[in-house]
Amino acid sequence: MLTDAPPRKANRAGFLESDQTGTLDLPQYASLLTITKSIESAMRRGRSKDVRRTCAEFLDAASEFYKVPACGFRVLAARPLRVRERWATELFGDYTPETMLIRVWMRTAVRKEVTSFGTFLSTLCHEFCHHLDYQKFGFHDSWHTRGFYERAAVLYHHARGTPPKKLFWVPTVGGRWRIDWPRTNRSGRTNAASV
Ligand SMILES: [Zn+2]
């Protein structure tokens, strides 16, 4: 995961606010976890209609909790030719702010393999966090900042019922950051061992 470069002038304040907001309120009840278990079993059984229905349920429940308008949702069989995401490395979904539509696809572009449940759910949370950026935080753009990835991870681990992982970052060129996976994974293991 690599962050976007900071904008030069306009929206710089919004970018910094996004970068520094690394947490997200979470529902106290386990309703999202119940729904994601249904998504997982629908995927395992290869029932695309059920995948669609349970994902829509997930997004409706999350929108209700965060008090944002419900977003539209489509599951596509394969990656479309044109996508909006600038998220180059793990491209399994996109979000259109004007229409508040999330699209995720079940197959990877290159090898046509079915996306794993973890990747699929992570994509759903990622795209929903774009929706939150516009509708809850009121940002003018939805940048991939460190805070953005942290918020998406907080939502993902809550929805999957797994312990949250602290993300460690290393600076790269142009004011961008990438995740230090060895350090992040080491710290995740320590957390898990101490629970
Ligand atoms: Zn994105």
The model's pLDDT over 105-115, given as tens digits with 9 standing for 90+, comes to 887 666 666 77
Which of 39-43, 97-101, 189-193 has the weakest average pLDDT? 189-193
What are the residue ranges of helices labelled H in 9-116?
12-20, 31-44, 48-66
pLDDT confidence of residue 194? 41
**Mean pLDDT over residues 87-111, rounded?**
80
Q: Select the more confidently predicted residue: 25 or 105.
A: 25
pLDDT of 177 over the 50 cut: yes
Report the distance separating Cα 75 and Cα 2, nearest Å: 25
Cα 125 to middle of ligand 1, angstroms: 10
Please give the distance, rounded to the nearest whole angstrom, from the Cα atom of residue 102 to the centre of ligand 1. 11
CA of 144 to the centre of ligand 1 (A): 6
According to DSSP, residue 174 is labeled: G
The pTM score is: 0.91
Q: What is the distance in A from the centroid of ligand 1 to the CA of 94?
A: 7
- Centre of ligand 1 to C-alpha 131, Å, is 10
* 195 Cα–ligand 1 center, Å: 32
Average pLDDT rounded to a whole number, residues 30-49: 91
- Residue 143 banded pLDDT, cuts 50, 70, 90: very high
Angle between the N-to-C axes of helices 117-135 and 31-44, in degrees from 0 to 180, rounded to the nearest 10: 140
Ion ligand 1: protein residues whose beta carbon lies under 5 Å: 87
Distance 74 CA to ligand 1 centre (A): 16
What spacing in Å lies between the alpha carbon of 48 and ligand 1's midpoint?
23
The residue-averaged pLDDT of 160-166 equals 90
Contact 138, 97 (CB under 8 A): no
CA 3 to centroid of ligand 1, rounded, Å = 10
What is the mean predicted confidence (pLDDT) over 123-152? 96
Secondary structure letter of residue 37 according to DSSP:
H
Torsion angle defined by CA atoms of residues 160, 86, 84 and 109, in that order, rounded to the nearest 10 degrees: -70
Would the pLDDT of 95 be above 90? yes
4 C-alpha vs ligand 1 centroid, how far in Å? Answer: 10
Is the per-residue pLDDT at 193 higher than 50?
no
